[in-house]
Structure 1
Amino acid sequence: MAESQSFVRCFSSFVARLDDRLPEVEQHFSGECSEEDMFSYFWGLQEAHECLVLSVPETLKSESSAVTYRTRGNTLYRCKNLKEALKSFNFSIMFAPHPPAPSTAASSCEEAPANGTPAAFETLALAYANRSAVMFELRQYEECMKDVELAILHGYPEASRCKLLARKERCVAKRKEEGGTTERLLTTHQHFPAIATADPASPRRSDAITLSHSPEKGRHFLANREIQPGELLLTEESYSSCLLPEFLPSHCSVCLTRCLTPLPCPCCPYVTFCSSKCRSKGRKSHVAECRVMGALIPLPSPWRVALGILTRVTLPRLKIWLRKLKEEEQEASASLSKMSAKTKRQGEGDGEGGGGKMKEERETKKQERKKQAEAEEEEINTNRRRKREKAKKKKEKKEREKRLRDTKDQNEVSDLQDEEKEEALYKAAFHAVTNKSKHSPSQLLHACAAAFCLTKLLEVGGGFFLENDMPFTPCEEEAVLVGATLLRHLLAAKCNAFTIAEVNVPSSRAARPRPVTVGVGLSPSVALFNHSCSPSSFLTHCGGGVQALTAARTIPPGQEVTIDYLIGSRGRSAASRQSRFLSQYGFSCSCDACARDRPAYPRLPDYADVLSEDGLLRRPGSASPSSAPSSPVCPRLCQAKEGFDGLGIDLARVPHKVKEAVSRYKDVLQRCQDAATPSEADLRTVCDLIHLLDVHAQKPSSLHLAAQLTLEDMTLRRFLHAEIKDEFYY
């Protein structure tokens, strides 16, 4: 998403104010500088405080807006335009003044009673009542009854309550009469897959992959064994996520699933939730951004993801955790520097030549022995410090375990465990790769400006800088701490955030099911996978904020497991991909597809085109059908037959096996057009074809690509899809 016009104007004004000083200012921004040094310098620029001030639209509830939406909804309801009437009543509920959200559910309808005078929240009550009428007309009786309860709970006028209660009684009668056969307007199907062979040390990760490290690739995952197409490799909940602006009114801001009758945020008119459970879960981080949501919504999604990473943590916890993280980083850096210096000294020693005066040689050796003694002493001291630190951590662990054993209050035990879990999750998000060294000074200056604006918004919002639940103005040290942390998260989100999609299926199957990108998120483990323009795995959303990683093709042992960072990489030329990578991620892609300058697929091949008899086994750039080979069999099959006998491969049957697999694939595609959820057998058929082509086909192959994209589409539909009645389909 493009940056908000407000920020663009502010940043342009800031750069103009710097004028001739800009080159001098940019000298303070480089990959060698720490986030603290860069942001501290930026915070000290008077021009930043004068120019980088984002306008904050009014984000409070508005009774007049709620009444306007309700009036419009009533007009649409009388015209029998129920879809638009429902939207208007939802907006009326979002804008209507609302009582504070409860800490726990207070009633069967999951809302707190409206405190104060009965008329205090009458606008909200009337909107709920009107929405219940729409839901009754749409024969959604469960939702209708919930809205009736919410209307009464929030002070619906006593004189008219008999009408609402009568509607509720009719709902009960209709449900009994129809026996639960009423067609649902929206049915969200979620499937949380289980990993067949999980890693004992990490139950949400398959034992088929292992984390590795190299100077060229950094941290990455390798296959431990041969991984089959369709095999589940990882499931992880997004640490931070956000909806695209257009989906805020219709989707839950926590689990990112669509809901027809959402619950509003009690304080702002922008955010909705599917249930009180999600509202309670999201309130902890949303409270920091609630009053400034109007300014945050137009900002790029990765910025909001970065802010979400920070606001999951309270300021006191952030100070403690950052101190620990910085100490760990310093120790790791010192250890790395020491190893580098030792290697350098050894190299210099190996490169010394003979000759020279004896006295100089003795002096040189004396100095070397002295340095070696100092290095050994330093190593001894370092080992002592490590032992002390290890003993300290062991002692702290024992003390924690003792507290857990001695604590009788189970809630306290749970809180301690939750805090340790949150600390571990934040630590993983904090260490996500930032590619800081690959950004230019102007890009880092721009990122600092973004972090500066977000820090200012947190200060204005009054929900993050809290002391005894009261907002305060942060001192410079606290502002720099938060701003530098935001800068780090912004750089990490820019190169690690991924899109989140759902599949919408019309109930009549009149339209083809299609994925829709609804949001953006960041998961620490997913961030460790490197990119390839011809990825070996793909990411899908399972609902509830959970992401799943599935193998797209056969992955041999020792090969890296990769994902596609860009949407539709395979539809771009190599030059276009490289340009995008350099601007967004700060690196040039060196995957096999880019190294070989593979041709771009201008569009997803239409099934009819891919499955034409002549085009079926053709490869991009191959000869015409008349002169093309009759099968996609790899040239290595032309080797001596004896070499394949041991593998059980009948060379004569390979083309026939491929054609049989493709014939079954055609049948699967036909069934997929009619079925919302693909069957296990159909998934297996597609996986078998991919494996067969992995072994025998030359690449790139349009059929091989089409089968992988089909597997991705089927997996997404299997894990999460929303079945929607035609008139509500979009």
Structure 2
Amino acid sequence: MSIDACYEGVIAKLTDEGKILEISKKLISLQTNSARVLFVYELIESLKAFPKVLEVKKDDNVSTYYRNQGNLFFKATQNYEALQFYNLSLIHAPLGTESYSLALANRSAVLFSMKQYDECIHDIDTVFAMEYPRDLEKKLSKRKSMCENFILKNKEVKEDSTKANFQVGEILKFDHERDKTYICASSKLQVVFNDEMGRHVVAKEDIQVGEILAHENPYLAVVLKSQMLVCCNYCLSRDLNLLPCKSCCFALYCSKECSEKAWKEYHRVECGLLATLVHMEFTKLELLALRIVIRARTDHKNWPELLEKLVEIEKNLNTPLRGCENLGDNWVYDSKYYASIHTLESNVEKRSVSDIFQKSITAAVFLKFLIENTDFMNADDAKHHNRIKNWVAGTLLLHGMTSPTNMHGIITNTANKNGDYVDELNIGSAPYPFCSLINHSCAPNVVRYSKLGFAEQILVALRPIKKGMQIFDNYGPVFRRRSHLKRSFIANIRPIFSKLFLFINQVLFALTHCSKNVNQSLYYLDYSGQQTRVDTS
């Protein structure tokens, strides 16, 4: 059952019972997010409409099936497809088994074919460090030796390339100081507030084309399902030696460090739920809401510490310190701290009752999963338990509402057949609290840039910005469709800005060697163990 089917099923039952108007009136009368979610929670419970949590375990037979599929693609010299199937084989293989080592060994063959010699050696060494079928040793040793010879021959070329990349890395750096409060941003920017625009960003000084105005890392990120087999599920790097979560069949990581960070911050809680979350087709924004709530708790030692911190956060809502964290001598607005995420605008007063009801169903389903299938909400006494339940319920809905208008897609450009970096590739989604303060325009004066394999957003001036002018971003095609240009002057200059926008993007992406032109048709395993093809082109 998908989350949409769950919602439609609840609506159908309420319609049959003639309760739609009654429920709508009740929902409108409730004043807090927690009251809304708990009301809907009890409603779904009474209708016996909660979905069940599914379980997908690692399995040698499934691993073997996907390894065989990888072999077929490898024989057909379709390396990228073969790589993904071997990753599927690896992710489903019980740790330390023959299936696990065979998946790595076969992936090393693909990496050799792709001339990724360092990565090939890495996989071979991983196999040699574990129990493996001894008939592999001769073949893998020979492959490793061949890789070492190729690396030795190409050493000078690699050294030159490394130097060039290092110099290019210096291009997208600040030429001036960072702001003392909004520490990811240039000191040339200022956050201000008025009733018409809300919180927004203006220029404190004149800004030239190409100036770097912000470097912001997200609070966390959610990788798209179509990218799960080629990206680290924590840092989003395009690592060729990804290794799986020890417990679930849905997360791959580029390093032990990323795996441990993900486990500590959110994955320990969501690990056993991922099969259900994938099967139910929750959107990336809904998954962000769940993951943010989990991390808000793991960022703090215990529930009392978090609940105490929330009191401080709420006190600053209507002050210039909104979303800021107290670091002793200074208050800072930084994506590392939950305060910056908690205080993003939800626009709840502008939402329809149907929208609130639908988002409350999603929050109630998440709440049900967390209560019955994890230890996330464990408390020492009933008083704390009720307070925790209220907070989790309300905050799941809060972030369900903040995500659509504040979260940013992580999109980069890939080269087309002509070598131009104009094709877009969507990797994931994440909360960037500073970039979220920038208002939308169809004719923006800044552009956000993300290098493939990184979650950091870099804000670049698209055209000259005079002191006192507001900074405007373009939120994407949905917002462009909803916006109406009222003056023909703006309509006439849009093509000019579009060309300039495209030119700057091409320069940035070409300079930083952001990606390779790879096959973007990816494969993943759905909850039932069946192969599903996702065309992301």
- Is 1:288 the counterpart of 2:197? The answer is no
Counterpart selection for 1:487 from 397, 409, 415: 397
Shift of 1:41: 2.5
Q: Which amino acid aligns with 2:151?
A: R
Q: Which amino acid aligns with 1:705?
A: S
Cα gap change, 1:331/1:268 in structure 2, threshold over 3 Å: closer, same or farther?
closer
- Is 1:535 the counterpart of 2:444? The answer is yes
Deviations 1:112-135 (A, max 9, x none): xx5xxxxxx111011111222222
Shift of 1:237: 0.6
Kept in 2: contact 1:232–1:548 (CA 8 A): yes
User: Which deviates more from structure 2 when the two are superposed, residues 451-460 or residues 546-555?
Assistant: 451-460
- Is 1:234 the counterpart of 2:214? The answer is yes
Kept in 2: contact 1:539–1:547 (CA 8 A): yes
Q: Report the TM-score when normalising by structure 2.
A: 0.82
Q: Which amino acid aligns with 2:176?
A: T
Where 1:198 maps in the other structure, the secondary structure is coil
* Aligned mates of 1:448, 1:726 — CA distance in 2: 38
Q: Which residue of 1 aligns with 2:184?
A: 204
- Is 1:169 the counterpart of 2:165? The answer is no
* Aligned mates of 1:426, 1:125 — CA distance in 2: 40
Kept in 2: contact 1:254–1:282 (CA 8 A): yes
Kept in 2: contact 1:221–1:528 (CA 8 A): yes
Q: Which amino acid aligns with 2:406?
A: N
Cα gap change, 1:428/1:182 in structure 2, threshold over 3 Å: closer, same or farther?
closer
Trace 1:323-338 onto structure 2 (pairs within 5 A).
323-326=308-311, 329=314
Kept in 2: contact 1:188–1:722 (CA 8 A): no
Shift of 1:331: 7.7
Counterpart selection for 2:90 from 89, 93, 101: 93
Which structure's CA Rg is the greater one?
1
- Is 1:594 the counterpart of 2:485? The answer is yes
Q: Which amino acid aligns with 2:11?
A: V
Q: Which amino acid aligns with 2:19?
A: R
- Is 1:437 the counterpart of 2:349? The answer is yes
Trace 1:321-400 onto structure 2 (pairs within 5 A).
321-326=306-311, 329=314
* Aligned mates of 1:252, 1:424 — CA distance in 2: 20
Number of residue pairs matched?
501
* Aligned mates of 2:395, 2:195 — CA distance in 1: 25
* Aligned mates of 2:413, 2:494 — CA distance in 1: 27
Kept in 2: contact 1:321–1:423 (CA 8 A): no
Cα gap change, 1:126/1:53 in structure 2, threshold over 3 Å: closer, same or farther?
same
Q: Which residue of 2 aligns with 1:44?
A: 42
- Is 1:546 the counterpart of 2:456? The answer is yes
Cα gap change, 1:318/1:213 in structure 2, threshold over 3 Å: closer, same or farther?
farther
Q: Which amino acid aligns with 1:195?
A: F
The CA RMSD measured in Å over matched residues stands at 3.7
Shift of 1:178: 4.2
User: Which deviates more from structure 2 when the two are superposed, residues 201-210 or residues 163-172?
Assistant: 163-172
- Gap runs ≥5 in structure 2: 523-536
Q: Which amino acid aligns with 1:207?
A: S
Q: Which residue of 2 aligns with 1:505?
A: 415
* Aligned mates of 1:26, 1:719 — CA distance in 2: 52
Q: Report the TM-score when normalising by structure 1.
A: 0.62
Q: Which amino acid aligns with 2:124?
A: V
Cα gap change, 1:726/1:509 in structure 2, threshold over 3 Å: closer, same or farther?
farther
Kept in 2: contact 1:228–1:555 (CA 8 A): yes
Shift of 1:182: 8.0
Counterpart selection for 1:151 from 109, 117, 127: 127
Q: Which amino acid aligns with 2:309?
A: K
- Gap runs ≥5 in structure 1: 99-113, 115-120, 337-392, 399-419, 579-592, 601-619, 621-699
Where 1:156 maps in the other structure, the secondary structure is coil
Q: Which residue of 1 aligns with 2:508?
A: 715
Shift of 1:455: 1.7
Kept in 2: contact 1:195–1:204 (CA 8 A): no
Q: Which residue of 2 aligns with 1:368?
A: none
Counterpart selection for 1:266 from 240, 246, 251: 246
Kept in 1: contact 2:421–2:510 (CA 8 A): no
Shift of 1:480: 2.8
Deviations 1:158-186 (A, max 9, x none): 35423323332332233224446589xxx
Q: Which residue of 2 aligns with 1:257?
A: 237
Kept in 1: contact 2:335–2:433 (CA 8 A): no
Trace 1:20-99 onto structure 2 (pairs within 5 A).
20-30=18-28, 33-45=31-43, 47-48=44-45, 50-98=47-95
Kept in 1: contact 2:269–2:376 (CA 8 A): yes
Q: Which amino acid aligns with 1:74?
A: N
Q: Which amino acid aligns with 2:288?
A: V
Where 1:721 maps in the other structure, the secondary structure is coil
Counterpart selection for 2:199 from 204, 219, 224: 219
Kept in 1: contact 2:183–2:333 (CA 8 A): no
Where 1:197 maps in the other structure, the secondary structure is coil
Shift of 1:486: 0.9
User: Which deviates more from structure 2 when the two are superposed, residues 61-70 or residues 22-31?
Assistant: 22-31
